[in-house]
Structure 1
Amino acid sequence: MNSEIRTLEPKEVWNKFADLNAVPRASKKEEQVIAFMLAFGKQLGLETINDETGNVIIRKPATTGFENRKAVVLQSHLDMVHQKNSETIFDFATQGIEMFIDGDWVKANGTTLGADNGMGVAAIMAILESKTIQHPAIEALFTIDEETGMTGAMGLKGGVLQGQILLNLDTEEDDEIDIGCAGGIDITAARSYTEETIPENSIAYKITVKGLNGGHSGMDIHRGLGNANKIMNRLLFNGFEEFGLRISKVDGGSLRNAIPRESEAIVVIDRVHHDAFAFEFNQLTSIIKKEFKTIEPSLFITAEVTDLPETVMNLGVQEGITKALYAAHNGVYRMSPDMEDLVETSNNIARVKIGEGKVKIMCLTRSSVESGKIDLSNALQSVFELAGCEVNFSGSYPGWKPNVNSPILKVLIEKYSQLFNEEPQVVACHAGLECGILGQNYPEMDMISFGPTIKGAHSPDERVSISSVQKFWKFTLEILKDIPQK
């Protein structure tokens, strides 16, 4: 399948993308892709640096006639989100991504594609390798761990980069030029509980929620997609209220930056309620499916009789946790009053793990306004602490404040209009771009973000438009020709 990808235009970009996608590159497990990128730079005979954090920097001198232009930092991140459908047999640690063409889209076979941010990485690699592309002096900055903490960007020290302009190639709509983004913070609620023996005359069920779209917890949060953890908790709460349902295990969601698609729970009820529970469960399932039928047509919910577990949660803790999860905010918290259609603040209840005497709930809160991030974080902390949890904040990173007077923004708007006979959309996004973090140590650097059209990032539905990659490549090369003088 991947051989078909190498025939697409522009071949220099798609071949580099195929090379990259053969290398495992999970966040925080980037050893192989770092080695791959270091070997690539050294093979080209270019100055290649691996900083103490793990970022890779490759420097290429200006082509003839462009020596007096401002130096440009081309930046993308090496890691990708590893997600797969439950029925897909795939080992991200050892296998390369299996890609195929579907009309104007390149997709992966049951897994994430890695176009986020692999297309940006591939474009930069193609520029570094080319002997014909005109450009000023280039510093290619390949950061690590963007998806689960942005520790690569955070660890890049001031004074390492010499460029005056940074082009971040990590935006996912080809008609948009991004000048701002949200900051974020990881929230983890945890507690222990006493396990109890199963009540006599119990019957056990395995409850499954799956078939949801999932998606990017920033870029897709406004779409009203189903959250498997919230749906599961609704089912558990109702079962407890109506039939005294007891929880043995819950396992829902995965990564903080992915809207959870699947959840599974093992529960017990008194056998006397078997028929009534089945009827009530089916009624509630029908209601939930009706609520989501437009946007989540493949939602699948079942309750199947299973083997009895050995223990269940302490009753008081169960009641507190299910009520806390019901009350905890998920989704859009506030829209921006200053920028039309921009989500200002949101939360994703990304991971719920209950079992063996431990509860762990993981959220990612985002906001383009620092006070909004703090406000929602405090609200979540309060609701989980009321349920007896210890709440920790970690991985906080700043947003990127828009600069409508950016000189490079003016260059991009003019170039886009000339090339495509329309005005680009100048936006800020509700995702976490690295520009805000990099700007802390490089406050004078003029930054902008753009990229090809990518849909379904952070889910197995991820896909990238072939025609959009062609447009993105043309736009990038023309920008490099038009970088201002020093």
Structure 2
Amino acid sequence: MESILEHFKAITAIPRCSYHTTKMKEYICEFAHSLGFGVHEDHVGNILCHKGAPQVCLQAHYDMVCIGNTHPIEIVMEGTLVKAKNSTLGADNGMGMAIMFWAMEHNENLECLFTVDEEVGLIGAMQFRLPLKSSYLLNLDAEEEGEIYIGCAGGMDVIASLKLQYMPLDEEIKLYEISAFNFTGGHSGVDIDKKIPSAIKALGYELLKHEVLLVSLHGGERRNAIPKSATAIVASKTPLHVEDTRLHVKSLEKGSHTKYIAQSSSIIKALGAFAQGVREWDRELDIPSMSINLGIVSDFEGVLRFDCAARAMDDENLAILAHETVAFFKALGFDAVQEGWHGAWKPEMTLFAQRVQGVMKEFYPHATFKAIHAGLECGELIMRQAKKIEAVSIGPTIRYPHSQREECDMNSVSNTAFIVQNIINTYKE
């Protein structure tokens, strides 16, 4: 599968952070045209490629979560593991794209859909309207080999904001910078039940222990990533020492800041009281039923903003969680809104799913059906088609997505590619 790795290296050389995907879009279109595929692009940047009389449509998203030094991504090989140096790798979903490129080189009857801006709220999938020629959709965004996903969580963003008011600081008051950094981080869906600490929450817990005034506050990297870092500048009448060894305190020069945030108490209460993580467990699926992640806190141009990503395995619980979160922030004086709703993909045992399992069992005898507590595009894509489309999601093993520890096993990539080809072959008969 050396050719798939080469395709992946070519993909990683092209900038494709969410919202900044133009060069990647151009590359996909040029590649598809060079192989004789018809190419259609919609108004948001989704790319639908087809050749011959396809029965199966392969699908992946072409944006990535960019954390660290991603311009360019420096690939590191450790045995069969692919990693990146000081950045996210982008195997989510770049390795799925690489498998699709490989499949496009080897099939005369195939459809491939490349969606845009999945990582920032399934934007491409939610606005996709082009008709698929195929009757079966094979999403390649799952992250554990040997597993067949037939359902996923829905998601909703909750944005809380507070117009800041400032008061003058006493010139003699002590100023400190408290930082939480080098936390592990992780995906706010698939990693939310792994007890990965949040840098924002750790900072919030510490601030609750002290009588301090906030001067500034920021933290987190992405709404859908468990925060790796957070920093607050505070004023204190007494010397400040922190108990949490993961946090660092630095004294600042007196007079370096002249104002503090008048709503400091409400903000610190919100940080400390926000219930980060799993809210409810689904015993039948053995995954979280509801969860929420406070991914970003930002202080910009006089407005403090909290960005939260809520998830649930059914639409009713998602609505409840979103409403509860809005009410929580409003009770503390914030404005709060819901946005970016995408519905849950209810698990369904289709004939296509059973056929995929039959193919996969040749490689993984214990191949199982699962649902995932994260957003997959399948549900959004098939619900918008005029005809009935059956869908499943598979993929190679990717560990620690949305973090600088992200890694992908090339052995599982090879296995996944053969499974994909065998699935395509079953519909040639």
For Structure 1 versus Structure 2, the TM-score category normalised by the shorter chain is over 0.9
4+ runs of 1 displaced by more than 4 Å? none
How far the C-alpha of 1:322 sits from its partner, in A, is 1.3
SS of corresponding position for 1:322: helix
Match of 2:137 in 1: 166
Instruction: Name which of 149, 152, 156 aligns with 1:181.
Output: 152
Whether 2:4 is the aligned partner of 1:21: answer no
Query: For the residues of structure 2 that align with 1:140 and 1:168, how far apart are their CA atoms?
Result: 10
Query: For the residues of structure 1 that align with 2:377 and 2:300, how far apart are their CA atoms?
Result: 36
Query: For the residues of structure 2 that align with 1:351 and 1:232, how far apart are their CA atoms?
Result: 13
Matches within 5 A, 1:174-253: 174-240=145-211, 245-253=212-220
Match of 1:71 in 2: 55
User: Residue 201 of structure 1 aligns to which amino acid in structure 2?
Assistant: E
SS of corresponding position for 1:239: coil
Match of 1:460 in 2: 404
How far the C-alpha of 1:313 sits from its partner, in A, is 3.4
Query: For the residues of structure 2 that align with 1:312 and 1:356, how far apart are their CA atoms?
Result: 14
SS of corresponding position for 2:402: coil
1:107-134 Cα offsets, whole Å, 9 max, x none, are: 000000000000110111111123xx5x
Contact 2:36 2:51 in 1 (8 A): no
Instruction: Name which of 44, 48, 51 aligns with 1:53.
Output: 44
Match of 1:310 in 2: 257
Whether 2:239 is the aligned partner of 1:285: answer no
Query: For the residues of structure 2 that align with 1:419 and 1:231, how far apart are their CA atoms?
Result: 43
Instruction: Name which of 116, 138, 146 aligns with 2:92.
Output: 116
Query: For the residues of structure 1 that align with 2:299 and 2:266, how far apart are their CA atoms?
Result: 13
SS of corresponding position for 2:362: helix
How far the C-alpha of 1:148 sits from its partner, in A, is 0.1
Match of 2:379 in 1: 436
In angstroms, what is the RMSD of aligned CA positions?
1.6
Query: For the residues of structure 2 that align with 1:179 and 1:24, how far apart are their CA atoms?
Result: 31
User: Residue 248 of structure 1 aligns to which amino acid in structure 2?
Assistant: V
Query: For the residues of structure 1 that align with 2:35 and 2:379, how far apart are their CA atoms?
Result: 31
Q: Number of paired residues? A: 427
How far the C-alpha of 1:356 sits from its partner, in A, is 5.0
Query: For the residues of structure 1 that align with 2:271 and 2:127, how far apart are their CA atoms?
Result: 34
Q: Which has the larger radius of gyration?
A: 1
Query: For the residues of structure 1 that align with 2:120 and 2:79, how far apart are their CA atoms?
Result: 32
Query: For the residues of structure 2 that align with 1:14 and 1:122, how far apart are their CA atoms?
Result: 7
Contact 1:330 1:348 in 2 (8 A): yes
Match of 1:292 in 2: none
1:239-264 Cα offsets, whole Å, 9 max, x none, are: 22xxxx11111110021111100011
Higher normalized helix content (fraction of residues)? 1
Query: For the residues of structure 2 that align with 1:376 and 1:419, how far apart are their CA atoms?
Result: 39
Whether 2:427 is the aligned partner of 1:480: answer no
Instruction: Name which of 295, 299, 303 aligns with 1:350.
Output: 295
Whether 2:85 is the aligned partner of 1:140: answer no
Match of 1:301 in 2: 247
Match of 2:367 in 1: 424
How far the C-alpha of 1:419 sits from its partner, in A, is 3.2
Query: For the residues of structure 1 that align with 2:135 and 2:300, how far apart are their CA atoms?
Result: 52
Match of 2:121 in 1: 149
Contact 1:249 1:355 in 2 (8 A): no
Match of 1:268 in 2: 235
How far the C-alpha of 1:484 sits from its partner, in A, is 7.0
User: Residue 145 of structure 1 aligns to which amino acid in structure 2?
Assistant: D
SS of corresponding position for 2:278: strand
Query: For the residues of structure 1 that align with 2:415 and 2:103, how far apart are their CA atoms?
Result: 15
Match of 2:324 in 1: 379
Normalising by structure 1, we get a TM-score of 0.85
Q: Which range is displaced more, 198-207 or 246-255?
A: 198-207
1:304-334 Cα offsets, whole Å, 9 max, x none, are: 112344244344x111121122222210011
